Amino acid sequence: MSLLSTLLLAAPAPLVAQELSPQEASAPAPQESSAPAASLSEDLMAIYIAHVDHLLKHPKDQGLKRVADLLGARLLDLPGEIPDLREVPPQLIPMAYDMLRSAKTIRITDARETSPFLPVNALIAMRPNNPESAGQWLNMVEGLMRQGGAPIGTRDTDGWLPLEGLPVPVRFGAPDGSLQLLLGEQPAGPADYSGVELPGGIQPGFAMQMDLGLVMEMFMPLLSMEEPELAQFITDVASATGLDEFSFRMACGSDDRTGYMVTSMPGLARGLLPVEGLTADDLRLIPADATVATLSSTDLQALFNMMLGLVEPLMAQEGFDRPLERIEEMVGIHLERDLMDHLGTHVGSYMSDTTGGGGLFSTVIFVEVKDRAKLDASLQRLAGLLNGAVAEGTQGYVQMRTLDRGGVRCHTLTFPGLPIPLELTLAMGTNNLFVTLTPQAAVAAVQQEAGLTPGLGSQADFVAGFDGNFTNLYGLSYYSKEAFLKDGYGVTSLLCSALSNGVRSRQDLQRDAGLVMPTYKELIDGVRPTISLTRLEADGDVVTRMESDPSMIVGVTRTVGSIVSNPAIAILAGVGFLGAMETNNMRVIEMPAQSW
């Protein structure tokens, strides 16, 4: 759950609101449906995206909107620059450009009861700002297809244009001001976006719905015919994790000051949520100067048992039955008794100034501990096992050592004698195990747990965005106002320069998008923090509600910043391990003079 929240937080800010009309939401097909208007279709997937003009409505996004406005003129230049495009009908390019800008609906619905050839229906609808344009698009599509010799029939009384000679009906039409392509039959009703209504009646600029359980129900029998063992494994995994009943709904929108995202995941919580959720006391584990933070309450024991139940049958087929006991016989550690039984239910992570300047190397991951002494003893044994396993291959250049750092007991990965810039550290606090990239972060995290510095609950921006309600709260995520914006500004500016250059003309000097990227001062002016809360609703659904900055360019910059500021750890870890192995291969100890 916390992982999903983190991913959502790192994504661009929610899209700007546009009215989601009944026509767009249901994307009606050629004929009047016999089903009641309030009925919902069984959608495997449904997606709605608002018109570009509405997605780029925020004042900070006007540079991006100018690029979008100039793109049409740039596309018209291409036939004169690319010989292969000179045969493209001239009217096709403006139409394609207008379609790209239009509001779009995509739906895939269950067709097993109506179609002997294809188990799904598919609908694609594009709605321009000017409803009359949809009819013009249809006329143009018909003319181009007839010119190309496509098997097009005669329009029916409702204006729908069929393709003939296909095993399933395929039709084009322009009802209700949108150009639509329909494969199969019309949906029985609107797509189901219930449970993700946005606050204040804001209509979404983006909405998505997917029913994974229905997808599995439809396609697993087909997979069973070709790969029965794989199909059975997937079925077992889905049954154990609740994916066979899982559906996902999401809606994004905004007002002038706040971007909103609501996700609902029925079935996700099956057996994985403990009795108690998060409490106010959990906030003290995270420093007030945190740039990014996540907290979640998860039944780790149930998760471990679920995963064990999935892999045990597979391992038994390979002759490795009773895996926990077999592993204990080999290494002396029982994963459940010696590790999992000593862990609690609360897990979190953060980056903060307190633990290392707020960047990657300030990262702290922590998990609640039920039995501190027993877990620490198990970690000591694991350190000994690791040292024994790598001793021969690395000749002592890789060691896990237990060190005292300012009164904090740290288990640190070291590279004695080698200038490797890496000290991965595990440290035991009073009630939590901390995992960090530096021993300094570990010491600061333990001090934070002890209450030596203020916690997130005292941070003004967090307090302003969180109502203090911990009822059924199982997940919490936070991005500070300027988190990753400084890191991402330079690269995002370059990307915006690419967009600006891309729509310029070699002849028309007036075709210019201006400053696509706002100045940094303008970008951070009035920027909002991101706060995401995940709760278990009364109906058993896991619902996440997020509030963030409404600007698209702010969200993109934050995402780019999170990417460009965090690749170093994988490089350093790889360099450390390979460096140690290479040192062994070169036998530096045996030939120090020759090596130098």
Is there a contact between 544 and 8 (Cβ–Cβ < 8 Å)?
A: yes
- What pLDDT shows up at residue 553? 97
- What pLDDT shows up at residue 592? 32
- What pLDDT shows up at residue 544? 92
CA-to-CA separations, 418 to 385, 415, 574, in angstroms, rounded: 22, 6, 14
Confidence bin at 561 (pLDDT 50/70/90): very high
- What pLDDT shows up at residue 416? 92
- What pLDDT shows up at residue 538? 72
> pLDDT per residue over 79-120, tens digit each?
999 998 888 888 899 999 999 999 999 999 988 877 767 888
Which of residues 357 and 113 earns the better pLDDT score? 357
Which of residues 224 and 476 earns the better pLDDT score? 476
- What pLDDT shows up at residue 157? 85
Confidence bin at 424 (pLDDT 50/70/90): very high
Question: DSSP characters for 388-444?
Answer: HHHHHHHTTSSEEEEEEETTEEEEEEE-TTS------EEEE-SSEEEEESSHHHHHH
What's the whole-number mean pLDDT along residues 575-595?
41
pLDDT of 405 higher than 50: yes
- What pLDDT shows up at residue 589? 35
What's the whole-number mean pLDDT along residues 553-577?
71
Burial class (CB within 10 angstroms; exposed 0-12, middle 13-18, buried 19+) of 36: exposed
pLDDT of 10 higher than 50: no
Confidence bin at 531 (pLDDT 50/70/90): very high
Pairwise CA distance, residues 116 & 97, whole Å:
37
pLDDT of 534 higher than 50: yes
Domain assignments of the chain as residue spans, ordered by start: 268-489+524-595
Lookup: tokens for 222: 């087909």
Which of residues 182 and 392 earns the better pLDDT score? 182
- What pLDDT shows up at residue 493? 97
Confidence bin at 590 (pLDDT 50/70/90): very low
pLDDT of 581 higher than 50: no
Which of residues 458 and 309 earns the better pLDDT score? 458
Name the helix (H) or strand (E) containing 368. strand 364-369
Task: Please give the mean pLDDT across all residues of the chain.
Answer: 82
Confidence bin at 271 (pLDDT 50/70/90): low
Which of residues 174 and 338 earns the better pLDDT score? 174
pLDDT of 502 higher than 50: yes
> Which has the minimum average pLDDT: 159-173, 243-257, 263-277, 555-569?
263-277
Return all residues near 151 (Cβ < 8 A) that are at least 6 apart. Answer: 163, 164, 165
pLDDT of 203 higher than 90: no
pLDDT of 591 higher than 70: no
- What pLDDT shows up at residue 270? 56
CA-to-CA separations, 19 to 50, 207, 395, in angstroms, rounded: 8, 12, 67
Strands 542-548 and 530-536, bridge-based pairing: antiparallel
- What pLDDT shows up at residue 272? 67
> Which has the minimum average pLDDT: 143-157, 432-446, 464-478, 569-583?
569-583
> pLDDT per residue over 360-387, tens digit each?
899 999 999 998 888 888 888 888 888 8
pTM exceeds 0.85 for this model: no
pLDDT of 43 higher than 60: yes
- What pLDDT shows up at residue 268? 60
Query: pLDDT over 70 for what percent of the chain?
Result: 85
Pairwise CA distance, residues 6 & 248, whole Å:
17
Confidence bin at 505 (pLDDT 50/70/90): very high
What's the whole-number mean pLDDT along residues 199-221?
86
Among candidate residues 315, 297, 302, 312, the one with its CA nearest the CA of residue 241: 302
